Amino acid sequence: MIELSNVHKSFGSNEVLKGITASVEKSEVVCIIGPSGSGKSTILRCINGLESYDSGEILVEGAKVDNKAPSIVAIRTQVSMVFQRFNLFPHRTALENVVEGPIYVKKEPPAEALERGRALLAQVGLAEKADAHPGQLSGGQQQRVAIARALAMQPKAILFDEPTSALDPELVGEVLGVMRKLADDGMTMVVVTHEMGFARDVADRVLFIDGGVIVEQGAAKSVLNAPQHARTQDFLHRVLHPL
């Protein structure tokens, strides 16, 4: 349902994506791993038009992603995003954060949206935090609200941009748990992550990106357990055995 073909993207003279070709099928969980600065986040940001790309093509359900065109709004409501730093709206409660899109973008009747919003908060284990403001929540709770906010748009896919990188280690599990449940329910997910355990257990496929190109890709277990390429081997060795 998401297709990238030969996507190039530069920031000034720095080419961060040097011809990315990949696809994500419906209900598939794809993890993107790689060293920092390799272009992982930029791929996600191009898929839902937060960044424009210079050449190549990105299609979401057959529709071309072009963040200058009005069609981008429709694409964004189909492909939600969860950020490293949560990016909740601090002046609104958890529940208000979740129903903001349904009420103001999708024009759902508020009563219905609120009911669904509460159900979504319950789904991520935060039913009792509906009226709390983001500032009163832990990082893990905020990220779960952000996931509920993404789900509230009833997207066909969710992009996760290092969703646990800003969390204290003991809070990582609760967020990964919610994501694993989503994957089990058949949500299409593209996850930029450094959590190799999650990638191994939950992902269908892993892409290893370095220097703006896909160095290696394949079934999660084969890439992570038996990487073919020297750069992948080196990266995994450093991530899994940092000392």
Partner 1 sequence: MQNFLRDAVEFMPILLQGVWLTVVVTIGSLLLSTVLGLLWALMRVSGIRVLSGLSAGLINVIRGIPIIVLLFYLYFVMPDFGVALTALQASIIGLGIAYSAYQAENFRAGIEAIDKGQIEAAQTIGMGWWLTMRRVVLPQAVRIVLPPYGNVMIMMLKDSSQASTITVAELALQGKLIASSTFKNTSVFTLVALMYLTMSIPLILLVRHFENKAKRK
Q: Is residue 143 near partner 1 by the rule CB under 8 A?
A: no
Q: Is residue 163 near partner 1 by the rule CB under 8 A?
A: no
Q: Is residue 91 near partner 1 by the rule CB under 8 A?
A: yes
Print the binding letters for residues 201-230 with partner 1: x by CB under 8 A, - otherwise.
------------------------------
69 vs 75: CA distance, rounded Å: 11
Q: Is residue 154 near partner 1 by the rule CB under 8 A?
A: no
Q: Is residue 132 near partner 1 by the rule CB under 8 A?
A: no
Tell whether the torsion through CA atoms of 97, 102, 107 and 108 is positive or negative: negative
Among 28, 100, 162, 210, binds partner 1 (CB under 8 A): 100
| Closest distance to partner 1 from the beta carbon of 64 (Å) | 17
| Long-range pairs, 118-127, Cβ under 8 A, ≥24 | 120/148, 120/151, 120/152, 121/94, 121/95, 121/145, 121/148, 123/148, 123/151, 123/178, 123/181, 124/148, 124/178, 125/174, 125/178, 126/94
Interface residues with partner 1 (CB under 8 A) are: 48-50, 73-74, 76-77, 80-81, 83, 85, 87-91, 100-101, 104-106, 146, 149-150, 152-153
